[in-house]
Amino acid sequence: MLLGVIADDMTGATDVALMLNRAGMRTVQVIGVPPAGSALPEADAVVVALKSRTNPVAEAVADSLAACEALLKGGARQILFKYCSTFDSTAEGNIGPVANALAERLGAKLAIVCPAFPANGRSIYQGYLFVGAVPLHESSMKDHPLTPMRDSSLMRLMSTQARTETGLVDYATVLSGPAAVKARLAKLQADGIRYAVTDALTNEDLMTLGHAVSEHVLLTGGSGIAMGLPQNFRRAGLLPERPGPVELRAPAGRAGIISGSCSTATRGQIKAALEAGYPALKVDPFALVDGSQNAEGLAAWALAQPADKPFLVYSSDDPAEVAAVQDKLGREKAGSIVEHAFAEVARRLSDGGVTRLLVAGGETSGATVLGLGIHTLEIGPEIDPGVPWTRVVDGPEMVVALKSGNFGTPDFFLKAWNLLR
């Protein structure tokens, strides 16, 4: 293994694994902290998918350190801490403490902070994160059910979370190329700065940044920064040319969609699926609480639908409805009730013959994958930037696509199936 990645949620892990795969590294995704003593799969890069974005800080730190230990033991020469391209963090903020702990473990004096992902509209300028044409705090991320983002300054966010000053590699420096970036990072490090936000607007910028950090033992950022890393290993003669992602063959069986994502993109995709006549059932968190809906009933409904179209089981709702649920049940309880139900639904669907499953939402995917007892995923073809089909390597015989809330075109739920044989 050359590169080890610690991803703070499930869909973020498939996102970065796809990026590495496309850039020519054979990449495997493992779910959860690998048990001590177990061997990691043979690959150029291994991505460990954690649920550490929203866990209590101490748990997030402990899991990330344990994942780091396993990756180092597996031979990783460089560690990437992958978080969301919209820097999603709870009020306490797990990104800073996790980065601090990893930096200490790895002896990293300075690490970059680069959530940019131009293909999905995430760019960084003067240290401010933009989503499409608006700053992060004006985007739909301000209303996220678990990690509402109300500040767009990455330097301020990181400084507050990591309790240390954060510097900037500005856009003019990035445009000047890898040597200029290296010099700027060295200057920041000499000044005692531990984190440097890097401006990036395009894939070319990410390639420049990737080149500039070839010697860094720790990187932090979104999947975009992974784009420029395989070239370093190739340049060092450590990575042969690899063929692009393979087509995936889906086992015979039924197809379905589970969505707990309340993001704007997902809600648009649900609208398109409803308009296309997909059989759909809406899950109501209050009904889960009072028992009028339960996992057994939801799965039974799904399995009873005609198999000519994928079914859709979804709890996705608009911000006002989600806020009303959270007011009554509490933010965490609302989330966990729905996630718990979907994990059980997924288990029952797999037992009932569903072999092609599309899941929308990072937390929802995390719960679903754990519910299904999946340990390892092999990365397949890209449906849209950041979202591949994956094949379950150990676990039920099926293919799954784990979609980050805000990723994918409006017809995502309609077109995804076309990439499967």
Ligand X SMILES: O=C(O)[C@@H](O)C(=O)CO
Binding flag, residue 15, ligand X (CB under 6 A): yes
Whole-number Å distance between alpha carbons of 275 and 246: 31
Task: State the amino acid at position 77 in one-letter form.
Answer: R
85 contact choice in ligand ATP, ligand X, none (CB below 5 to 8 Å, kind-dependent): ligand X
Q: Are strands 122-125 and 128-131 parallel, antiparallel or unpaired?
A: antiparallel
**H helix or E strand, kind and range, residue 390:** strand 387-394
Quote the least distance from Cβ 85 to ligand X, whole Å. Answer: 3
Q: How far apart are CA 260 and CA 157, in angstroms?
A: 27
CA distance 261 to 259: 5
Least gap, CB of 63 to ligand ATP (angstroms) = 17
68/108 Cα distance (integer angstroms): 13
Of 339, 11, 10, the closest CA to residue 145 belongs to: 339
CB of 346 vs ligand X, minimal distance in Å: 18
> For tokens 């609480």, what's the residue?
289
43-81 as b/e: b if 16+ CB within 10 A = bbbbbbbbbbbbbebeebbbbbbbbbebbbebebebbbb
140 lines the binding site for ligand X (CB under 6 A): no
d(CA 313, CA 326): 20
Q: Which does 146 bind (CB under 5 to 8 A by kind): ligand ATP, ligand X, none?
A: ligand ATP
Considering only 7-15, 134-142, 327-335, 350-358, which stretch makes contact with ligand X by CB under 6 A?
7-15
Structure tokens at 10: 């499930």
84 near ligand X, judged by CB under 6 A: yes
223 touches which of ligand ATP, ligand X, none (CB within 5 to 8 A by kind)?
ligand X
User: Toward ligand ATP, which CB reaches closer, 200 or 387?
Assistant: 387
Closest CA to 93 of 165, 159, 192, 169: 159
Find the shortest distance in angstroms from Cβ 240 to ligand ATP. Answer: 33
Residue nearest to ligand X (CB): 12
Hey, which residues between 402 and 421 contact ligand X (CB under 6 A)? 404
Of residues 223 and 266, the one with the C-beta less far from ligand ATP: 266
Q: 254 CB contacts (<8 Å, ≥6 apart)? A: 303, 307, 310, 352, 353, 354, 355, 356
Q: Are 79 and 68 in contact (CB under 8 A)?
A: yes
- Decide which of ligand X, ligand ATP, none touches 24; Cβ closer than 5 to 8 Å per partner kind: none
**Quick check: 27 binds ligand X (CB under 6 A)?**
no
310 binds ligand X (CB under 6 A): no
Binding-site member from 41, 93, 118, 222 for ligand X (CB under 6 A) = 222
Of residues 73 and 333, the one with the C-beta less far from ligand ATP: 333
Whether the CB-CB separation of 273 and 322 falls below 8 Å is answered with: no
Which residues sit at the interface with ligand ATP, rule CB under 6 A?
Answer: 9, 11, 144-146, 260-263, 266, 285, 315-317, 322, 325-326, 334-335, 338-339, 361-364, 404-406
In the set 2, 3, 4, 11, which binds ligand X (CB under 6 A)? 11
Q: Among ligand ATP, ligand X, none, what does residue 266 contact (CB within 5–8 Å per kind)? A: ligand ATP
Residue 298 touches which member of ligand ATP, ligand X, none, C-beta under 5-8 Å by kind: none
For ligand X, give the closer residue by CB, 117 or 233.
117
- Closer CB to ligand ATP, residue 13 or residue 99? 13
Contact partner at residue 119 from ligand ATP, ligand X, none, CB < 5 to 8 Å by partner kind: none
362 within 8 A of 50, measured Cβ to Cβ:
no
Largest Cα separation within the chain, whole Å, is: 65
DSSP three-state, residue 281: strand
Report the distance separating Cα 44 and Cα 21, nearest Å: 9
> How would you list the strands of the sheet with 134-135, edge to edge?
122-125, 128-131, 134-135
Least distance from C-beta 179 to ligand X, angstroms?
28
The mark string for 341-370 relative to ligand X (x by CB under 6 A, - otherwise) is: ---------------------x--------
Footprint of ligand X on 101-130 (CB under 6 A)? 117
Give the interface with ligand X as residue ranges (CB under 6 A). 9, 11-12, 15, 84-86, 117, 222-223, 362, 386, 404
